[in-house]
């Protein structure tokens, strides 16, 4: 039976923002007698409710200032809610402000033992873990240098490598890993997936929709202190991307985060067709520029019978160079993949955006669909031809 690792019920959080800086004891004394308030109330979260199941990888997304980091600090116990209740079932480790307690005047090695002590480890325990901590952080050559000479990325790598030694049931992860390079970020997420298999619970606050789609089981999006989208990673990722497609799109997000089709329509998909054969699946999309635009990025997705994202691609990732288009100009693209799908109904989504990937022209969910029927049934989503070599030894 599934249990809840985290329960958040009607939580609200606000802060008092002072209007005036008190420069002296005299001014402080005088302001006591002023009728006008010396502060204003800033409401950061409003009636937020959700649950995270044990063993789930749960995403929280939103623009800067939306309230997501405040929510994470509430879960970590750094803040207390003004209203509502939070329940955390299990030992929790927050990866929010890595490196708190580091001393820049000490060496990397000395900081490992200092930070380990703050986590509750004794010196013998830290001596056993030291080599693996340094190896994971990839800082073998720098451990005798003072921490003040480390880059911010090196400090985060060291702090993260120490923090993951703390055994816990629930991990809260802010986007502290953004300063690490791509290889280190992959290593971190590989670690997260390993502990997820061991039924640990992870909560990730991020701006990276690729990470949401790749790792999360469910997600929520917060905007202006409220949850405006929740559910599958794909649904929430699209709702987040919609915030940045245009100001007019962003203003409608609270009431329409599940739109079948959205974008500013500077370029539109006029026709989408899926052609299926035994060997391949070909998706052809025709586009028309409704305004003059720069070189567009074109993409597609194939969603499986249960709504999972099975295949995706885009011209930027595949290093296909498109050209700027004038109003009224048309273009056609064909995506072709091997037909290794299992039996079932599949939907095709197509999209176009600008070169920065922040302005979406047209995202069309369910632009086309197709059905695959195969004689040999499989419980898997894909059904490739399998070559077998068998002999007695």
Q: From CA 291, how far away is CA 328, in angstroms rounded?
A: 7
Q: Are strands 330-338 and 57-61 parallel, antiparallel or unpaired?
A: unpaired
Q: What pLDDT, on the 0 to 100 scale, is given for residue 25?
A: 56
Q: What is the pLDDT of residues 100-125, one digit of tens each?
A: 778 999 999 999 999 888 878 899 99
**DSSP-derived secondary structure for 156-196:** HHHHHHHHTTS--SEEEE-GGGGGS-HHHHHHHHHHHHHHH
Query: Under CATH, which number does the domain 261-372 receive?
Result: 2.70.50.60
Q: Among the residues of the chain, which ranges form H helices? A: 25-32, 68-76, 108-118, 123-137, 152-163, 182-197, 209-215, 233-243, 247-251
Domain ranges of the chain: 261-372
Q: Do residues 210 and 226 make contact, with C-beta atoms less than 8 angstroms apart?
A: no
Q: What is the rounded distance in angstroms from the CA atom of residue 378 to the CA atom of residue 200? A: 30
- pLDDT band for position 339 (50/70/90)? very high
Helix (H, G, I), strand (E, B) or coil at 41: strand
Q: Is the pLDDT of residue 343 over 80?
A: yes
pLDDT per residue over 223-260, tens digit each? 999 999 999 998 999 899 888 764 434 333 333 444 68
DSSP alpha helices (H): ranges in 39-107?
Answer: 68-76
Q: Average the pLDDT over 385-389 and give the result.
A: 87
Quote the pTM value: 0.74
At 393, list the tokens. Answer: 């030894």
């Amino acid at each position: 039976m599934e249990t809840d690792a985290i329960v958040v019920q009607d939580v609200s959080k606000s802060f008092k923002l002072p209007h005036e800086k008190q420069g002296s004891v005299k001014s402080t004394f005088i302001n006591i007698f002023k009728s006008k308030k010396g502060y204003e109330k800033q409401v950061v979260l409003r009636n937020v409710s959700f649950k995270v199941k044990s063993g789930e990888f749960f995403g929280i997304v939103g623009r800067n200032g939306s309230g997501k980091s405040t929510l994470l600090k509430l879960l970590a116990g750094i803040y207390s809610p003004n209203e509502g209740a939070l329940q955390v079932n299990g030992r929790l480790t927050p990866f929010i402000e890595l490196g708190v307690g580091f001393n820049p005047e000490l060496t990397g090695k000395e900081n490992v033992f200092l930070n380990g002590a703050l986590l509750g480890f004794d010196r013998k325990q830290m001596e056993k873990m030291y080599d693996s901590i340094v190896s994971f952080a990839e800082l073998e050559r720098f451990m005798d240098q003072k921490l003040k000479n480390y880059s911010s990325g090196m400090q985060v790598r060291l702090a993260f490598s120490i923090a993951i030694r703390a055994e816990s049931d629930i991990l809260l992860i802010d986007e502290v890993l953004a300063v690490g390079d791509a290889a280190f970020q992959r290593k971190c997420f590989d670690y997260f997936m390993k502990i997820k298999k061991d039924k640990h619970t992870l909560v990730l606050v991020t701006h990276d929709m690729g990470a949401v789609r790749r790792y999360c089981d469910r997600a929520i999006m917060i905007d202006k202190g409220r949850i405006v989208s929740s559910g599958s990673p794909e649904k929430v990722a699209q709702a987040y991307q919609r915030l940045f497609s245009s100001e007019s799109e962003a203003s409608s997000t609270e009431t329409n985060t599940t739109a079948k089709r959205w974008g500013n329509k500077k370029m539109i998909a006029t026709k989408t067709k899926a052609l299926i054969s035994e060997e391949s699946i070909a998706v052809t999309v025709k586009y028309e520029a409704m305004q003059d635009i720069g070189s567009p990025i074109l993409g597609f997705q194939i969603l499986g019978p249960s709504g999972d994202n099975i295949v995706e691609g885009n011209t930027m990732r595949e290093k296909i160079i498109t050209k700027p288009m004038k109003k009224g100009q048309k273009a056609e693209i064909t995506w072709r993949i091997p037909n290794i799908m299992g039996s079932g109904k599949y939907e095709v989504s197509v999209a176009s955006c600008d070169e920065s990937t922040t302005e979406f022209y047209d995202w069309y969910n369910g632009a086309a669909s197709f059905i695959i029927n195969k004689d040999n049934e499989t419980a898997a989503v894909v059904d490739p031809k399998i070559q077998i070599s068998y002999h007695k030894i």
